[in-house]
Amino acid sequence: MKNKNSLFTMCIVILFSFTTFAQDFSQNQNKWTVGWTNFAPNKIDYPEPEEKISNIIMDHVYLTNDRTYFMSGDVYVTKGASLNIQEGTIIRCDYKNPANLIIAKGGKLLAVGSSNNPIVFTSSKASKSRNSGDWGGIIVAGSGKVNSVSGSGVIKGNFNPQYAVFGGNDVDEETTIMRYVRIEFSGSTAKNPEGSNGLSLYGLGTSSIVEDIMVSYSGQDSYNISGGKNNLRNLISFKANDDDYEVSQGFKGTMTNIIAVRHPYINSPKGSFAIEVDGYNRDLGYTSAKDITDVTITNATLINLSDNSNYQHTSAAISSSNLAITYINNSKISGFSDVVSFDDSYKSMNMIQQAFMMDNSFFNIHDKGITTNSKMLDEKLDVLKYNRFTKEFVSVNDLFKDATSTITPNFQLKKSLNTYMVMQ
């Protein structure tokens, strides 16, 4: 009798979960994007810069919104110094001598915009002539934990070595507070072939705050999160060339309310994913199994703007490598070939089931759902149980209310979630 009651209870819980989920998905869940975002940044005529930012910041510097700033080359905020940016401030970033903002260990970046007056880092080119990779990006080097054997790392690229080290044991460090910030046309490859990313967070401590950030048209990754421990929220990646979110080197934490909008014709030659989760760096090794990258992703909207004429150019939405652990819930994935791709570090279905879980979510794909580099595919769809999905691939404009809006895209499903299949 006890077993029957347990089974009945489990069925009720699953049914209640899908009912609640359907109610949530009938609304636009991305209202937090309204006001401060810009999905057509190449059309904006930003004011010409009036003041150049120093390349070495060794004190407390304040940028105010009554003038526009010019950033050229590498700008380092050194140990004990801080860069404070007022809401509504615009920083034009040099494309001839590509700009990078590097917050070295012990330095601080306090960039606090508002929903009415976001802070904007953008290309120095004129409107309608800006391109992905016009300038470098923003790099924050913290003293939080990374899972390499040495406990530290070096930022990739030709940066000043004394400012390029990250990692340590200051788990609770406050390196940055970033709110309502737009980063446009970053991702230059001038410093190294792999290029700079829109926003790179290395060894971020728990007291740092990163929320309401939009990275548009990055020439490389939009976000690179290496090590550290934090709860990130309200992040947007729009039409990146490479990955939208790369999470690696033992990062522990959550990512809540994230959006990735891709296009099937915009990809890196090595392959691009909405989310790439890497358990550890194979070249550097790792200390123990408990230090593997482990991220929980909630309310993600991962969209490839594909239709029946071009969906064959897409890959998986998520890449999982080097034993990384990922839990994704209450999310939408659409327009990709598969939900997730696993590398050869996962030797069995049991390892995959322990490392990856997705529930209470919806997906619209055109292939099998999961790909692996190991020969163990018979039970692969088990890890996608308890999610709803389309029986056949549906083009983006047929699935969502207004996915291609240049004002505020709306990824609300046109049909009720209850009309779609349930993985059992």
Query: Which residues make Cβ contacts (< 8 Å) with residue 261, sequence separation at least 6?
Result: 236, 237, 238, 239, 303, 305, 409
pLDDT of residue 25: 55
Q: 3-class SS at 149?
A: coil
| Alpha-carbon 99 to chain mean position | 21
DSSP string of 318-370, one letter each residue: EEEETT-EEEEES-EEEEES-SEEE-TT--SHHHHHHHEEEES-EEEESS-SE
Range of the domain at 358: 28-417
pLDDT of residue 418: 87
Q: 3-class SS at 407?
A: coil
Q: 3-class SS at 103?
A: strand
User: The CATH number of the domain where 365 resides is what?
Assistant: 2.160.20
Residue 423: inside a domain: no
pLDDT 10s digits, 77-128:
999 999 999 999 999 999 999 999 999 999 999 999 999 999 999 999 999 9
Report how far residue 337's alpha carbon sits from residue 386's, in angstroms, rounded to the nearest whole number: 20
Q: What is the largest CA-CA distance in the chain?
A: 77
Asked if residues 156 and 173 have their Cβ atoms less than 8 Å apart, the reply is no
Q: Which residue has the tokens 């048209």?
A: 217
Residue 346: inside a domain: yes
Residue 12: inside a domain: no
| pTM, full prediction | 0.93
Number of structural domains in the chain? 1
Residue 167: inside a domain: yes
Residue 372: inside a domain: yes
Residue 376: inside a domain: yes
Report how far residue 236's alpha carbon sits from residue 256's, in angstroms, rounded to the nearest whole number: 11
Residue 285: inside a domain: yes
Residue 207: inside a domain: yes
User: For the chain, which ranges sit under pLDDT 70?
Assistant: 1-28, 374-381, 423-424
pLDDT 10s digits, 157-211:
999 999 999 999 999 999 999 999 999 999 999 887 777 999 999 999 999 999 9
pLDDT of residue 377: 53
